[in-house]
Amino acid sequence: MDLHLKDKVYIVTGGSKGIGESISRSIADEGGNVVIASRSKDETRDLVEEFRQKGIRSHGIIGDLQNTAVCKKVIDETVAVFGGINGIVNNAGLNDGASLEAGPEAFRRSLNVNLHHYYDLVHFALPYLKKAKGAIVNISSKVAITGQGGTSGYAAAKGAQLALTREWAAELLPYSIRVNAILPAEVMTPLYRKWLDTFPNPDAKEADIISKIPFEKRMTTSEEIAAMAVFLLSEVSSHTTGQFMIVDGGYVHLDRSLK
């Protein structure tokens, strides 16, 4: 199926590692131009070079998206290089464990890491998204609707991302800009592996988690999240907006005791 992404321009934040990398690769596979905005200098450089060697137009912008000026730079530089913007995938962030006991400053830092740049990038990109009748995909998390324990800042940010998804979908209706969210659950990424390795027996913890995933008793792959992302970016999903797409093998909505 042709998703009609060819030669269109998409920004992926945190687009050189984990879920973001898979989304960048999926866009490139569909012929789209990829702008990777990330703090990961080496990984971004290597992925952009890989794309260029394959004849895919790509661009990397290194910086900390917690800085509003960096968010503006991402938009300005993208337009300078490619001439416009067809879509944004807000993905950058991390589950930093800012718990209720961690205190107000940790909570505020977590919101800055995980939430504010979602707004900032879309704000600065809005004139170009209006012109292109573009699409926005917000990567949220199952934590937004299930909770996890010990991560108030991340949970609040992820919940806010869902609220912004619905708010922007409503506000941007007159411009035919579609806004949707994806809620991953258990996806093996470098950050997820780092979290697992904090447990005394990581293998046992991983096996326990997998045992609770109803569909095929396996984790969701980052490629499966990416497939949903490119669908939501594409014209194939031309009448889908304001939706929360949960790609998780039934982890959230099916009874986890199913055999």
Going by their DSSP bridges, the two strands 58-62 and 87-90 should be labelled as unpaired
Predicted confidence at residue 257, as pLDDT, reads 61
Best CA proximity match to 122, nearest among 13, 4, 222, 7: 13
For the chain, the structural domain boundaries read 9-185+221-245, 188-219
Q: How many residues does the chain have?
A: 259
Q: pLDDT averaged over consecutive 10-residue blocks of the chain (259 residues)? A: 93 97 98 97 97 96 98 98 98 95 98 98 98 98 95 98 98 98 94 88 93 93 98 97 97 75
CATH 3.40.50.720 fits 9-185+221-245, yes or no: yes
Predicted confidence at residue 195, as pLDDT, reads 82
Predicted confidence at residue 256, as pLDDT, reads 62
- Which residues have C-beta within 8 Å of that of residue 71, sequence separation ≥ 6? 65, 117, 120, 121, 124
pTM value is 0.95
Active-site positions?
154
| Residue 39, token pair as written in the block | 């703090």
